[in-house]
Structure 1
Amino acid sequence: MSQYQRLFLVAGPSMRHTPALERAVAIAQATRAALHITVFIEDSHLLGLKSAGARFREACQQENEQWLEDEADLIRERGIKVSTEVLVTRTALQEILLHVAEMQADLLIKDVQHESALKRVFITPLDWHLLRECPVPVHLVSEVRCPLPRVVVAAVDPSHPETQITGINDSIIQAANGLAMQCSAELHLLHAYDPSRTHMSDAGAGAVTMPGFSSDVRKSLQKTFIALADHYGVPGERQHFVEASPGKALADFAAHHRADVIVMGNAHHKGLGKWVGSTTEHVLYQVPCNIFAVTGAADQ
């Protein structure tokens, strides 16, 4: 039985065939899951034409409904059960989360909404909100080389197990393995070892470390990483222990191995961490492939 029974595609009012739509249809067909598509039209998109009033809103909604129903008819011809909806709202995030809960979605799929760095300073992107607040996995799609992924990468972190989200590495690997099996894709396991971060966290600011300290930490982490990979049956040629910052390591790996999906854990941060954003959030704008975020929780 497939791990996906109900897929939820969040679409915008662009009325075009997007990468997320193509990916959602492909996964639905491969897993025999039902697909629900909602086009969310935010009021802010209509402010410039506010003088048109209710008549314009109605025309905009009807145009999207017709386009979406035409797309749904094409999807149904492939034997996929699909339902559609167009919603004009001022609270897209709250509506999306409500839909997830009401339909008991197994996976939310959405196109990446690219925002400038300057805009992200003042406004938290919707994608980031979904990563932080959505209770089910979120698949954010930026491009699709093949309808179904061919290379799925589980990005894990075996360091500092006492401060890690309980079971997050297991959740990441299980989600990645499930997706890879459903799509007949290769599963790879990757850890980005950042010596500077490890040194600072283990030694403490201003501390003097013994010669060979960094090498010993690296060997210990690599041993833990290999044990984790072996536990899940990931073959040696698909185990990647890379020395670099997470963003650079993931970007380089995705480019060199033509990775389609990187599965990552996403923590719910509080305080400063919530404002800065998690590694998963920033990777959205750095890595030339698609993100699949498994939700977790953190206290920092």
Structure 2
Amino acid sequence: MSTQPRLMLVVSPLMEHSPAFDRAAALAKAEGAALHIVAFDYLEGLATAGLVNEQALEQMRLGYIERHRQWLEDQARPLRRLGLEVTTEVTWVERPLQEILIHLKEQPMEVLIKSVDHESWLSRMMFTPLDVHLLRECNVPLHFVNKAAHAHPRKILAAVDPFHYDGRYEGLNDRILSEANKLAATCDATLEAIYAYDLSSITAAEYGYGNGSMFFSSTLARQLYESQGEAFDALAERNGIAPEQRRMIMGDPAKVLASYAASHDIDVIVMGRVRYSGLDKLIGSTVEALLYKMPCSVWVVAPQQID
């Protein structure tokens, strides 16, 4: 059995050459990986055309799939000339999420790469986009390419939270830093680790302080800052992150990460995601909030599966 790593690039049904193509090719070249490019086609207007008979509609659908397959092959040809192993696939399916998950189960991939689909705020409120479904249900690392000034990332930022209290996510921070270290080494990029902490989201009870006003006294706030700093340093130390590569900034995590990425020309931010159920799914997470706002691309690491 081949041990060559494999990357999966999911592309738009609209035959557009997005920055995700260049990023996927660069990563495959740097890692010596095979690249599988797949398009999940479904055009509402074509699928529901009621003015033609079923046979004519089937011919139109097959014709579109064939044109898309040829277009993907045109994109793959120059990559193969560079020595990359590239395969392409086009599948007609209305709801691609389950097809993607089946593909990943049948053909294990190192990472799934995809351009961010910029849906309107109203659309996201009414319908959960595919990108968010993938964030919530895909166990393979996800690389959402938003902007790609450089095909090879030059600056990588790993966002961690060493004070996550849910035991289900034990080890997630180490997985984030491991993934970030691997990506930085593959691309010969610089790496920083950042902990954006928000005291306003922490309750006094979590730290055994019954009096909220006492909790937010200057002394206790300083003690909390120091304990968080120690936890962050210990996490960074065991993952080989040097002191000069560490950043600890107070503020709303989503705002801090977006601002830091913009002001420091970050190419990729590596983050973890958590699992939500029930009403919590309506609230989402930091990575969901950032997906459509980040000035750079996002690499998302899922928590370890628990059987």
TM-score (norm: length of structure 1): 0.92
Matched to 1:177, the amino acid is: N
- Return the offset for 1:4: 7.1
Structure 1 Cα separation of the partners of residues 21 and 273 of structure 2: 23
- Return the offset for 1:205: 9.8
What CA deviation, in whole Å up to 9, does each residue of 1:5-28 have, x standing for no partner?
Answer: 000000112212211111000001
- Return the offset for 1:209: 2.3
- Aligned positions of 1:44-123 closer than 5 A: 44=44, 46-47=46-47, 49=49, 51-52=51-52, 53-123=57-127
* Residue in structure 2 matched with residue 17 of structure 1 by the alignment: 17
* Residue in structure 2 matched with residue 217 of structure 1 by the alignment: 224
SS of aligned partner of 1:72: helix
Structure 2 Cα separation of the partners of residues 82 and 132 of structure 1: 28
SS of aligned partner of 1:209: helix
Aligned pairs, how many? Answer: 297
- Return the offset for 1:215: 2.2
- Return the offset for 1:138: 0.5
What CA deviation, in whole Å up to 9, does each residue of 1:264-293 have, x standing for no partner?
Answer: 111121111122212111110121111111
What CA deviation, in whole Å up to 9, does each residue of 1:46-94 have, x standing for no partner?
Answer: 3464545222212211211111111111110110000001111022001
Structure 2 Cα separation of the partners of residues 193 and 4 of structure 1: 39
Structure 2 CA distance for partners of 1:182 and 1:298, relative to 1, 3 Å: closer
* Residue in structure 1 matched with residue 132 of structure 2 by the alignment: 128
Structure 2 CA distance for partners of 1:103 and 1:91, relative to 1, 3 Å: same
What CA deviation, in whole Å up to 9, does each residue of 1:179-231 have, x standing for no partner?
Answer: 11011011110000112112466378984424222222111101211121122
* Residue in structure 2 matched with residue 151 of structure 1 by the alignment: 155
Deviates more, 1:202-211 or 1:125-134: 202-211
**Which one has the largest radius of gyration?**
2
Structure 2 Cα separation of the partners of residues 68 and 194 of structure 1: 45
Gaps of 5+ in 2: none
Task: Answer yes or no: is the 8 Å Cα contact 1:268–1:297 preserved in 2.
Answer: no
* Residue in structure 1 matched with residue 289 of structure 2 by the alignment: 282
* Residue in structure 2 matched with residue 242 of structure 1 by the alignment: 249
Structure 2 CA distance for partners of 1:242 and 1:59, relative to 1, 3 Å: same
Task: Answer yes or no: is the 8 Å Cα contact 1:4–1:106 preserved in 2.
Answer: no
Deviates more, 1:49-58 or 1:115-124: 49-58
Structure 2 CA distance for partners of 1:90 and 1:213, relative to 1, 3 Å: same
Structure 2 CA distance for partners of 1:221 and 1:287, relative to 1, 3 Å: same
The yes-or-no answer on 1:31 pairing with 2:31 is yes
CA RMSD of aligned residues (A): 2.2
How high is the sequence identity, in percent, across the aligned residues? 40
Deviates more, 1:56-65 or 1:41-50: 41-50
Matched to 1:106, the amino acid is: E
Structure 1 Cα separation of the partners of residues 35 and 305 of structure 2: 31
TM-score (norm: length of structure 2): 0.90
Structure 2 CA distance for partners of 1:59 and 1:237, relative to 1, 3 Å: same
* Residue in structure 1 matched with residue 240 of structure 2 by the alignment: 233
Structure 2 Cα separation of the partners of residues 51 and 23 of structure 1: 41
SS of aligned partner of 2:91: strand
- Return the offset for 1:161: 4.5
Task: Answer yes or no: is the 8 Å Cα contact 1:265–1:295 preserved in 2.
Answer: yes
Task: Answer yes or no: is the 8 Å Cα contact 1:38–1:86 preserved in 2.
Answer: yes
Gaps of 5+ in 1: none
SS of aligned partner of 2:214: coil
Matched to 2:249, the amino acid is: V
Matched to 1:285, the amino acid is: Y
- Return the offset for 1:176: 0.5
Structure 2 CA distance for partners of 1:205 and 1:7, relative to 1, 3 Å: farther
Task: Answer yes or no: is the 8 Å Cα contact 2:142–2:301 preserved in 1.
Answer: yes
Structure 2 Cα separation of the partners of residues 257 and 281 of structure 1: 22
Structure 2 CA distance for partners of 1:28 and 1:298, relative to 1, 3 Å: closer
Match of 2:174 among 155, 170, 176: 170
Task: Answer yes or no: is the 8 Å Cα contact 2:172–2:304 preserved in 1.
Answer: no
Structure 1 Cα separation of the partners of residues 108 and 31 of structure 2: 17
SS of aligned partner of 2:202: helix
SS of aligned partner of 1:60: helix
Structure 2 Cα separation of the partners of residues 86 and 262 of structure 1: 30
The yes-or-no answer on 1:42 pairing with 2:42 is yes
